[in-house]
Amino acid sequence: MNHCRWRQNLGPPLLAAAAAALLIGPTLAMPGRPRVVRPTPVLPAAAPASLPDCALATVRSDGTQSAGPAWYRLDPVPDAAGQLDGQRLVLGETGRRSSMELWLAVESFASGPTDGRVLVGTDDGRRSLLRILDVAGRCATIVHDGPDLVRRAILEPSGMAIVEFRLDRETRADLGVWRRPLEGQPARRILDPLPSGARIGLVFATELAWSDDGRRLVVTSCGAVACLTRVVDRGSGEVTTVDDPQVGEPIGLLGDELVAYGGCPSLPCEIVSRNLVSGRTRVLAELTGLATVTAAAGGLVVHEDYRADGRLTTIGVDGTRRATLTLDDGLRLIPAAHRALAAIELRGGLVAAAADGRPATAAQPATFIDAVAGRPLTAEEIVR
């Protein structure tokens, strides 16, 4: 087996623009950057830059009778000299033959999909613009356009508010995490900035994610080789901090169990589970590659097995081994969106794999896997 395929770093999760620095050269590459994103060709000058407003748009169809989960991928785009020139966002629905492409500024991000919608943020150095893209309707709604520097943002599961990680525009200092209702009320801070002098050192990236039930917000701050995670309860506002060198980048939060990579600088790595109530940490798996979680069957962890190319192993959060499955040659498990710079919306119990671990084309964005049964599904089986 070629062990080089596993040398993916486990330091800070991806910053979209910083990840693209891999296209420029090693002097600008982020330390700890997992090597999943691949360079893409320069976009043609005619690449679309915008979508119609959702209030005015009509739903377009490519003739497909039904569509499945929405997906997106974000690719850095170099210019002819190899310098970072922007980012390409591709969006689509499983089962539809066509997809959309948007040209974004260098400092951009995407998150979701949430109920078929993708939140996209861009910053031009003066203002941040946040838009919600309706993948099926092929339209966009502007939800913020102002001087606040929004570095990351995600939709709440209810779709009624946006949660944002902000920086000071002049100093790039951490301003904490804010909740912005979409009905027009002012934004308020729900998590203070990370105190200076934290164990992880200089923070390179901050990522946002939801627990499996949507009740808690997972805020991960990563330095060059280590991460610190804070979990915010949406109801009470209580914050639980996991600041442990043996607990690295989170994979997901299932109930009270925070599933994460261990304190490894690169893959393969162990996967650990930290109980947020008892504080107990235990090893769930060793020598793993890319991993993801699903809330099905009480909580499952699906990971690539270092000992065999293409083999996936499913284990419960209680540590019990459930199933194994061998992927077709060339496929990788699709990990968390911040690691892949891509995502696909999946119902409970499903995970997905694709070439290089990222949705690739409108015709076949991913291979879907029933994690409980341990078997692949066809696109027709998952189309709603």
The count of structural domains within the chain is 1
Q: What is the mean pLDDT of residues 354-362?
A: 82
Dump pLDDT digits (tens) for 215-237: 999 999 998 888 999 999 999 99
Contacts 24+ apart (CB under 8 A), 284-289: 284/259, 284/315, 284/317, 284/319, 285/313, 285/315, 288/261, 288/313, 289/6, 289/8, 289/332, 289/333
pLDDT over 60 at 381, yes or no: yes
Q: Is the pLDDT of residue 44 over 90?
A: no
289-320 confidence digits (pLDDT tens) = 999 999 998 899 999 988 887 899 999 998 88
pLDDT value at position 270? 95
pLDDT tens digits, one per residue of 250-265: 999 999 999 999 988 8
DSSP 155-195: E-TTSSEEEEEEE-TTT--EEEEEEEETTSPPPEEEEPPPP
CATH code of the domain covering residue 180: 2.120.10.30
Confidence at residue 60, expressed as pLDDT on a 0 to 100 scale:
55
CA 149, 155, 161: angle at the middle one, nearest 5?
A: 85
**Enclosing domain of residue 327:** 3-191+200-382
